[in-house]
Amino acid sequence: MDQSFYRYWAKSVDDPSQYHLLAYHSLDVAAVGYEYLQQDTLLQKRLGDAFHIQGSDIPPLASFQPVLFIHRVSIT
């Protein structure tokens, strides 16, 4: 198995030995996003209405995205 994905990092600080690998960061974002969406039923409903699907389907679908849109919005 090609493990070239270990070459990429998502976050780092001034110390080059302290970094967070992109693969693990993406999993963290997906897990937090799932839990956030799982608990916010109003957001589930709004997103479900926007995409014409059941709101309860939003958390599992969104957790499969490479980078959750909520994460991107939260850092801009």
> Does 2 fall in a domain?
no
Structure tokens, 37: 């969406």
Of 28, 41, 27, 33, residue with least CA distance to 62: 33
Range of the domain at 24: 18-75
Structure tokens, 40: 């916010």
> Does 64 fall in a domain?
yes
Total number of domains constituting the chain: 1
> Does 47 fall in a domain?
yes
Q: Give the pLDDT confidence of 13-72 residue by residue, as tens digits.
A: 777 777 778 778 878 888 888 899 999 999 999 999 999 999 999 998 877 765 555 455
> Does 9 fall in a domain?
no
pTM: 0.65
> Does 10 fall in a domain?
no
d(CA 37, CA 6): 28
Q: Give the pLDDT confidence of 2-18 residue by residue, as tens digits.
A: 677 677 777 767 777 77
Helix axis angle for 22-39 and 41-51, nearest 10°, is 100
